[in-house]
């Protein structure tokens, strides 16, 4: 998998044409660094594979799942290359519209949407709302009625297929909270038929994220033709299929989804159903494009383990703690990997750990470390735990670079908090 982080001439690591030490000096650490060329290459890989394998009139609308990384600069870039957007909240809708996405290229997914979020989506002229429960049909109908509109919806099928790199990010098993069983989808269509403000136009599904076992996609796709036939047999309109995201990226040396095989399944199973095709890739577009740049605070030797304590921590990148996720870790400086470290942050939990038993050069306080493949579900899941401020984000493109989100300040945090008078005077 292509990434534009690379080591130049046995010296330090660069992000595209910019040495990481330059970025660390100018913007401080911990900081997220994103290589825009990687995002572009990933987008082009997806779109060109589908251009090659799927018929011209069945090209998918690639709706970027912006929960993966919703920085406005990244949204704007993806929009300019032709992406649509998948959103899961009213706030993501605002972000998308601000970044210039045409609402008719935005799909709204998620298992719980408030009336206010539904109203905003309908008013914006959103492409579709992906419905996940029988309750939601009447909820959306009521909101649309109030607005004098008709809501275009698709129903999310829960295909009862397990996929996803970790149980917490597997979404297509029948005991998961997502989607509707095939029977309930049919029921949902029947109900929609009786409602004046709902126009049911198709189906969606998303089986999970970082889907390793690639045949899981095929198994899930194979659930669609029969259901589509049943629905059409009852006179229902199925003109859109949104087949979700979940494309995996490389965190270590995983063998990856053969995109061509995926595209061939789409060609062989989905295309014959003659619908508009939508996909929702998130991680694949941005994951390998980003790294968390940290600086070593200290090296702590114990009887058992040498800990490398960096200024980045679990609040900046929660994935290792939350999902036992593996992220590659490299010293920015060049050197033979002669030492073994457990790389951690200063947060007061043993779970604050980026990785155990990592081979690195002899490290000293002040050295820089890059935590790799952190462009997806990195910054956007960061928190203020331990009153730590949110890290900065920097976008690099060739030799150009810019701060796209300044480091949060403690004032930002403290100014938002209020002490009631009746607490002051206790």
Angle at 271 between CA 266 and CA 272, to 5 degrees: 125
Report the Cα–Cα distance between both ends of the chain, in Å, rounded. Answer: 60
Cα radius of gyration rounded to whole Å, the chain: 23
With b for 16 or more beta-carbon neighbours within 10 A and e for fewer, the 94-106 pattern comes to ebbbebebebebb
CA–CA gap between residue 202 and residue 278 (Å, rounded): 11
Q: 97-116 mask for ligand LLP (x: CB under 6 A)?
A: ------------x-------
* 132 touching ligand LLP, by CB under 6 A: no
Residue 291 — φ and ψ, nearest 5°? Answer: -140, 150
Give, in order, the Cα–Cα distances in Å from 216 to each of 70, 266, 272. Answer: 27, 13, 20
CA–CA gap between residue 368 and residue 20 (Å, rounded): 8
Helix (H) or strand (E) holding 266: none
Which of 18, 65, 266, 396 is in the footprint of ligand LLP by CB under 6 A?
65
Residues 183 to 222: which contact ligand LLP by CB under 6 A?
Answer: 206, 209-210
Cβ atoms of 332 and 20 closer than 8 Å: yes
Helix/strand/coil for 197: coil
Q: Residue 23 or residue 170: which is nearer to ligand LLP going by CB?
A: 170
Tell me which stretch binds ligand LLP (CB under 6 A): 187-195, 240-248, 251-259, 266-274. Answer: 240-248
Task: Output the smallest distance, CB 423 to ligand LLP, in A.
Answer: 36
Which of 354, 377, 379, 397 is in the footprint of ligand LLP by CB under 6 A?
377
Active-site entry in 35, 63, 66, 348? 348
* Structure-block tokens of residue 223: 């659930």
Task: Output the smallest distance, CB 286 to ligand LLP, in A.
Answer: 9
Task: Output the smallest distance, CB 333 to ligand LLP, in A.
Answer: 28
Task: Output the smallest distance, CB 214 to ligand LLP, in A.
Answer: 13
Which of 60, 159, 244, 291 is in the footprint of ligand LLP by CB under 6 A?
244
Q: Residue 166 or residue 184: which is nearer to ligand LLP going by CB?
A: 166
Residue 422 makes CB contacts below 8 A (sequence gap 6+) with none
**E strand residue ranges, 218-352:** 240-242, 276-279, 290-301, 306-310, 329-331, 339-344
Cβ atoms of 18 and 31 closer than 8 Å: no
CA–CA gap between residue 255 and residue 249 (Å, rounded): 9
CA–CA gap between residue 207 and residue 203 (Å, rounded): 13
Q: 4-43 mask for ligand LLP (x: CB under 6 A)?
A: ----------------------------------------
* 245 touching ligand LLP, by CB under 6 A: yes
Task: Output the smallest distance, CB 247 to ligand LLP, in A.
Answer: 5
- Residues forming a β-bridge with 331: 369
DSSP character at residue 304: S
Task: Output the smallest distance, CB 345 to ligand LLP, in A.
Answer: 17
Residues 267 to 286: which contact ligand LLP by CB under 6 A?
Answer: 280-284
* 155 touching ligand LLP, by CB under 6 A: no
Tell me which stretch binds ligand LLP (CB under 6 A): 23-31, 243-251, 254-262, 297-305. Answer: 243-251
Q: Residue 30 or residue 246: which is nearer to ligand LLP going by CB?
A: 246
* 395 touching ligand LLP, by CB under 6 A: no
Helix (H) or strand (E) holding 341: strand 339-344
348 noted as active-site residue: yes
Task: Output the smallest distance, CB 205 to ligand LLP, in A.
Answer: 9
Q: Which of 365, 370, 299 is nearest to 334 (CA)?
A: 370
Strands 84-87 and 61-65: parallel
Q: Residue 280 or residue 352: which is nearer to ligand LLP going by CB?
A: 280
Which of 60, 84, 163, 246 is in the footprint of ligand LLP by CB under 6 A?
246
Size of the site for ligand LLP (CB under 6 A): 20
* 352 touching ligand LLP, by CB under 6 A: no
CA–CA gap between residue 92 and residue 86 (Å, rounded): 9
Return the active site residues. 348
Residues that bind ligand LLP (CB under 6 A): 65, 68, 86, 109, 169, 206, 209-210, 244-247, 280-284, 319, 323, 377
């Amino acid at each position: 998998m292509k990434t534009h982080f690379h080591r130049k001439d046995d010296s330090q690591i660069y992000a595209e044409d910019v040495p990481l030490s330059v970025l660390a000096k100018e913007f401080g650490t911990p900081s997220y660094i994103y290589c825009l060329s990687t995002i572009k290459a990933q987008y082009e890989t997806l779109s060109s594979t589908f251009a090659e394998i799927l018929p011209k009139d069945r090209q998918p609308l690639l709706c970027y799942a912006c929960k993966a990384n919703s920085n406005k600069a990244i949204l704007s870039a993806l929009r300019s290359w032709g992406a649509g957007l998948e959103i899961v909240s009213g706030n993501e809708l605002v972000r998308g519209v601000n970044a210039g996405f045409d609402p008719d290229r935005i799909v709204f997914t998620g298992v719980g949407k408030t009336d206010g979020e539904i109203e905003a989506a309908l008013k914006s002229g959103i492409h579709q709302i992906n419905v996940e429960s029988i309750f939601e049909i009447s909820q959306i109908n009521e909101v649309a009625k109030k607005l004098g509109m008709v809501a275009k919806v698709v129903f999310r099928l829960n295909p009862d297929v397990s996929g996803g790199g970790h149980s917490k990010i597997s979404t297509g098993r029948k005991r998961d909270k997502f989607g509707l069983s095939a029977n309930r989808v049919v029921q949902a269509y029947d109900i929609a038929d009786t409602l004046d403000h709902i126009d049911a136009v198709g189906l969606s599904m998303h089986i999970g994220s970082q889907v390793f076992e690639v045949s899981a996609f095929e198994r899930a796709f194979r659930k669609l033709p029969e259901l589509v036939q049943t629905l059409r047999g009852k006179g229902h309109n199925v003109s859109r299929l949104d087949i979700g995201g979940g494309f995996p990226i490389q965190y270590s040396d995983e063998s990856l989804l053969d995109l061509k095989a995926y595209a061939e399944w789409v060609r062989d199973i989905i295309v014959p159903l003659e619908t508009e095709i939508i996909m929702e890739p998130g991680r694949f577009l941005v994951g390998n494009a980003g790294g968390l740049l940290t600086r070593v605070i200290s090296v702590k030797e114990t009887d058992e383990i040498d800990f490398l304590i960096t200024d980045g921590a679990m609040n900046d990148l929660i994935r290792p703690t939350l999902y036992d996720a593996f992220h590659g870790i490299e010293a920015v400086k060049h050197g033979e990997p002669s030492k073994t470290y457990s790389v951690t942050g200063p947060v007061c939990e043993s779970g604050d750990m980026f990785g155990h038993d990592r081979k690195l050069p002899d490290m000293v306080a002040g050295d820089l470390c890059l935590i790799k493949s952190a462009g997806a579900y990195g910054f956007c899941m960061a928190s203020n735990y331990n009153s730590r401020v949110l890290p900065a984000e920097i976008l690099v493109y060739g030799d150009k670079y810019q701060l796209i989100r300044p480091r949060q300040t403690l004032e930002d945090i403290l100014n938002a908090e209020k002490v009631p008078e009746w607490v002051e005077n206790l």
